[in-house]
Amino acid sequence: MDLRTVAITGAAGQIGSVVRRALRPEAERLIALDRVPLEAEAPNETARQVELRDPGAVVAALAGTGSDAVLHLGGIADEAPLAELLAANVLGTQHVLEAARRLGIPRVVLASTNRVTGFHPTRHLTGPADPTRPDGLYAVSKVAVEALGRMYAEKFGLSVIALRIGSFEESPTEPRHLATWLSPRDAVGFVRAALTAPPSPGFRVVYAVSANTRRFWELPAPTTLAYTPVDDAETYASLIPGADIPFSPTTPQSGPYAAPEFTLPHVQP
């Protein structure tokens, strides 16, 4: 399946900007969506401002675009009060999925996070079949995002792929990244593969992580997603202080994100 007309929510974000730039020469047409103002940057691109928490606005933004797929990157990408996460991440995702259903857009690729399984210990190679163990409120919202994707796939016949995104950085900068890094090149590779996978109704979960020697997560089987990452954080190990200290086998894979102090400031008294 070729890249035809692809809509990207959160197109102004960190990952959205990289993916948008990389896919622009390949797609027949890109629809760049964000809550902040955007401008089209190529003849084959359309930019629209949209508030994902408004279901009517999401339908209006996608209507008439002829989109074949939606890459849903919009939302809050870190710990926050649960009410804000529910509004931006959970309701926002439901609005995107519902718009896809109404408009007949067959493929939706959801941005999930590795932190939905953050309490699994580092000694465990974690895969999609393992139970979710969210490390905080943000991760809880992404568990709900995945559940919505599964429901829309199984109830309404959409093809939904959830990418559990690793530590997206230009290069790894801390010891945990030696396991969790997702390079820009591999991020684009996973997204491209998810958008162009053969049309097939159903729900799939994939860990989007580079081919790190010390990774905690399973790479996808070719039958699940036809992309094999190429970058390895180990290349940068000599530049990272503490890289020579092995991970404690019982430490949560999320590291500091699993600590109570990370979430407590966002819990209402």
Q: Looking at the annotation, which residues are catalytic?
A: 138
Give the HSE-up count for residue 17: Cα atoms under 13 Å, Cβ half-sphere: 9
Q: Is 99 exposed, middle or buried (0-12, 13-18, 19+ CB in 10 A)?
A: buried
| Cβ–Cβ under 8 Å, residues 209 and 198 | no
DSSP secondary-structure letter at 220?
P
d(CA 230, CA 268): 43
> Token digits for 109?
């690729």
Q: What angle do CA 196, 200, 202 make, to 5 degrees?
A: 115
Q: Which residue has the tokens 């996808």?
A: 220
